[in-house]
């Protein structure tokens, strides 16, 4: 499935304060269908990378994921995990989580901006 189809089906229209538990529940339900994840892996294998991606977004230090990928890889490598994915694979999960947060923020801002515009009745546009 193309990435844009996945986002169309799974993105929300507004952004509430991030709650890690509900964000991880979202990924637990959706990761098998997302193109960045292998369906042969368990959610538990991806969870540490997802947490790092979400935290990287919340820290907000870079405009793109690529700018922080290597530093996040070092942080990921420093976390003691019994069955660690290699960062090359785990970073796709971290990037997916980071990009989801960025997209949710964009949609939230667009919705807030649209809500602040005055509503013009359609009839008044046709009368001109």
Residue-level pLDDT at 5: 41
Q: What is the pTM of this model?
A: 0.75
Q: What is the mean pLDDT of residues 12-39?
A: 82
Provide the 8-state DSSP code for 17: P
Q: What is the mean pLDDT of the chain?
A: 82
CA separation for the pair 95, 36 (Å, rounded): 9
CA separation for the pair 105, 126 (Å, rounded): 35
CA separation for the pair 2, 63 (Å, rounded): 24
Q: Is the pLDDT of residue 12 over 60?
A: no
Range from 17-21, 42-46, 105-109 carrying the lowest mean pLDDT: 17-21
For the chain, the structural domain boundaries read 15-116
Q: Is the pLDDT of residue 38 over 80?
A: yes
Residue-level pLDDT at 97: 96
Residue-level pLDDT at 8: 38
Each as own residue / partner, the long-range contacts of residues 6-14 (CB below 8 Å, 24 or more positions apart, any chain) are: 6/30, 6/33, 6/34, 6/35, 7/103, 10/34, 11/100, 11/103, 11/104, 11/107, 12/104, 12/107, 13/107, 13/111, 14/107, 14/108, 14/111
Joined together, the tokens standing for residue 64 give: 């793109």
């Amino acid at each position: 499935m193309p990435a844009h189809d996945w986002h169309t089906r799974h993105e929300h229209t507004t952004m509430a304060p991030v709650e890690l538990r509900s964000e991880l529940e979202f990924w637990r339900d959706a990761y098998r269908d997302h193109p960045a994840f292998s369906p042969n892996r368990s959610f538990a294998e991806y969870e540490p990378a997802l947490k790092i991606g979400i935290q990287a977004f919340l820290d907000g230090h870079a405009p793109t994921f690529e700018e922080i990928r290597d530093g996040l890889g070092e942080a990921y490598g420093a976390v003691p995990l019994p069955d660690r994915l290699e960062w090359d694979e785990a970073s796709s999960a971290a990037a997916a989580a980071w990009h989801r947060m960025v997209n949710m923020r964009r949609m939230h801002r667009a919705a807030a901006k649209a809500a602040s515009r005055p509503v013009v009745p359609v009839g008044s546009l046709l009368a001109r």
